[in-house]
A and B are shown apart, each in its own frame.
Chain A
Amino acid sequence: EAQVTQNPRYLITVTGKKLTVTCSQNMNHEYMSWYRQDPGLGLRQIYYSMNVEVTDKGDVPEGYKVSRKEKRNFPLILESPSPNQTSLYFCASSPAGQWFQPQHFGDGTRLSIL
């Protein structure tokens, strides 16, 4: 089954404790992206990657890091999480040659940073 898998689905942690949210897709897609969703703000893009070792900033990259060492994986790293990063996070993927094609989303990761 074609899917984008995020882990964990839920996490409560404390300020400053480094965490990683993993994202994996099994569709051989080149384009992958991270979004955060906050009430009243819709979804905002954090980072995206057009292919292995190619990443670029979205609209709200501050406080986040990403890496793309393998095509299927695109982890989101919070080196020193802060309460303002409490949010619902989504990973998405699509074929890069067809960036214009619909994006497939994971089921989301709800992070709470105390």
Chain B
Amino acid sequence: GIQVEQSPPDLILQEGANSTLRCNFSDSVNNLQWFHQNPWGQLINLFYIPSGTKQNGRLSATTVATERYSLLYISSSQTTDSGVYFCAVGNSGGSNYKLTFGKGTLLTVNP
């Protein structure tokens, strides 16, 4: 199956700092999503981005499918950005609709 690696595993920031999270994957994909798991355990979808660039407020994401990686940018971080960020990928070729998650990046934003 597809392998997903996220880096860094842990990241500590001061409020207001910017950060970049990376997701590498081992095969071609037609589904790539970024999720945020808040400290209460809720999973929120941030982006569906199998290719290209998207922005939503202070967050943006870029996927370079040909080079098999995706980046999540967080600008002017806030304490509410703390939590775990997951990348998930899938390829529906062969009618396989599995989604594979990376192990996540634990982000801590200090006031």
Interface on chain A toward B: helix, strand, loop, or mixed SS?
Answer: strand
Which of B12-20, B62-70, B71-79, B91-99 forms part of the interface with chain A?
B91-99
A108 (CB) vs chain B CBs: closest residue: B41
Which residues does chain B contribute within 8 Å of A40, judged by CB atoms? 103
Do A50 and B42 contact each other (CB < 8 Å), given the known contacts A40-B103, A43-B86?
no
Q: Which residues in B have their C-beta under 8 angstroms from that of A103?
A: 33, 45, 99
Interface residues of B in 37-53 (CB under 8 A from A): 41-45, 48, 50
Contact of A84 with B by CB under 8 A: no
**Complex alpha-carbon distance, A10 and B86, angstroms:** 23
Q: Give B43's nearest chain A residue, CB to CB.
A: A105
As a 0/1 sequence over residues 41 to 80 of chain A, the CB contacts with chain B under 8 angstroms (1 = contact) are 1111100101000001011000000000000000000000
Q: Is the CB of B97 within 8 A of A56?
A: yes
Q: How large is the interface on B (under 10, 10 to 19, 20 to 34, 35 or more residues)?
A: 20 to 34
Judge whether B104 is part of the interface by a CB distance below 8 angstroms: yes
CB-contacts of B76-111 with A (<8 A): 86, 88, 90, 92, 96-104
Interface size on A, residues (CB 8 A): 26
Given A43-B86, A100-B30, are A31 and B97 neighbors across the interface (CB < 8 Å)? yes
The reply to whether B33 and A102 form a contact with Cβ atoms under 8 Å apart is: yes
Question: Are the CB atoms of A88 and B100 closer together than 8 Å?
Answer: no
Residues of B within 8 A of A (CB): 1, 30-31, 33, 41-45, 48, 50, 86, 88, 90, 92, 96-104
